[in-house]
Structure 1
Amino acid sequence: MPDSPQTLSALSARLAEQAAALAGAVGSPLASPAYLDLVRQAREVGESADRLLKLCVQQSRDAGHTWQEIGDLLGVTRQAAFQRFGKPVDPRTGEAMDKTVRMTDAAERARSIVAAVLDGRMDEARRSFNSQVLEAFTEEVRGQGLATVAGLVGAFEGFADEEPFVRRIGDHTVVDLPLHYEAGDMKARVAFDQDEKVAGLFLLTPEAP
């Protein structure tokens, strides 16, 4: 019986074919590679690798392995592993929750908002806040939060090179942005509600779930 497209062997074989084709295109001595085509091929390799990883995690869970074990292997917390690969059930409906991130510019918007807050451009940042955050996130709250972080890790030096972590949690789109400070790293977490307004903004340690 032929492999289903969702079996480990089929996905592994497909990934091997794509990687071999990419390696051949890069190493061809006959002509300079078409670089946009290399981008397309590399994207396809990444997508296949991601599908394979998800299936491996699913089968590991089916075999009885814990989210802690999987998180340790991937270098993330068990909560981060669950948020990326888990299949939560909505307690309101008993149905699987939709984890599709529909807010395609979430990472860019989160970075812009965090930059505005850190720079003191609060009029700009507030335009993205929902009513609850507008009321709660006062200048005093901002000042206390930044002072606490400065006491822990010093002055802010910039956004880290690592990719933002974007996922959907319940009804919210949540973005974690790695930050560099003079004496350590932190992360900013921005949660957007269904209207794509900021419903939460936090500065956390990198280990925070």
Structure 2
Amino acid sequence: MSDDLYELATRLYRDVGGIIASPVLQEADQPLDRIAAVRALGDQTTAMLSAAVLAARRSGVTWQQIGEVLGVSRQAAFQRFGRPEPVSGHEAEPLAAAEGAAVERATAVVNELARGSWQAVVDRFDDAMRARLSVDGLAAAWSQVVDAVGAFDHGGETRVSRASGFTITTTPLRFERDECTARISFWDDGRISGLFILAGSPS
């Protein structure tokens, strides 16, 4: 197993058992909240699949072989996991620039959380996130984190992983008594599709 795939699998295992503050904690035993939580985990399994395909390609596996494993055509596999081609008349955004933009967005969100700028964070949400997590709910979730691990101190270096149609950022957060991890999923247009504060550091 490649290092990237192992890391994603480790994160997924930790996230399943280690969520201490997330939209699902806003209200207990809400079926829609459980759907939202599973969707967020699905985002991470999609990232794992993308990492597995990338590792296979690096080892010489063909798109035809990948398509056969996935039950799709070679073209469909490439369209989903291959590097997108520039639209006619437009240059594709360089990967480094896209990752840099994701890091900037994640850093801004962490800073807004630290300042208690709940509305600024909610304004970044996509429609599904806004429907299930209000300004008050976000404030309550952050309060749960602070109650559990103490006052926020600082954030660490953000790491970026790419999946189909969205980007996942992982930022270590240092609190007074322990470390946590901010896991934020962004659509390509910059809207937030998932926001979790997880127990423990990402390393």
Change (3 A) 1:77 1:194: closer
Deviation at 1:94, TM superposition (A): 3.5
**Pair 1:140-2:140 in alignment:** no
Contact 1:77–1:207, Cα closer than 8 Å, also in 2:
no
**Pair 1:171-2:162 in alignment:** no
Contact 1:67–1:78, Cα closer than 8 Å, also in 2:
no
Choose which of 184, 200, 208 in structure 1 pairs with 2:178. 184
- Give the equivalent residue in structure 1 for 2:193: 199
Deviation at 1:83, TM superposition (A): 7.3
- Written as runs of structure 1 = structure 2, the 5 A alignment for 1:44-193 is 66=1, 71=6, 76=7, 78-79=9-10, 86-87=52-53, 93-95=76-78, 97-98=81-82, 101=95, 102=98, 104-160=100-156, 163-193=157-187
- Written as runs of structure 1 = structure 2, the 5 A alignment for 1:2-13 is none
TM-score between the two structures when normalised by the length of structure 2: 0.54
Contact 1:188–1:204, Cα closer than 8 Å, also in 2:
yes
Change (3 A) 1:120 1:167: same
Change (3 A) 1:99 1:155: farther
For structure 1, the residue ranges without an aligned partner over 5 or more in a row are 1-65
Contact 2:110–2:155, Cα closer than 8 Å, also in 1:
no
Higher relative contact order (CA 8 A, sep 6+): 2
Return the alpha-carbon distance in structure 2 between the equivalents of residues 130 and 85 of structure 1. 25
Return the alpha-carbon distance in structure 2 between the equivalents of residues 117 and 145 of structure 1. 10
Amino-acid identity (%): 20
Structure with bigger gyration radius: 1
Deviation at 1:168, TM superposition (A): 0.7
Return the alpha-carbon distance in structure 1 between the equivalents of residues 173 and 197 of structure 2. 9
Structure 2 residue identity aligned to 1:117:
L
Deviation at 1:77, TM superposition (A): 5.6
Change (3 A) 1:127 1:77: closer
Contact 2:183–2:195, Cα closer than 8 Å, also in 1:
yes
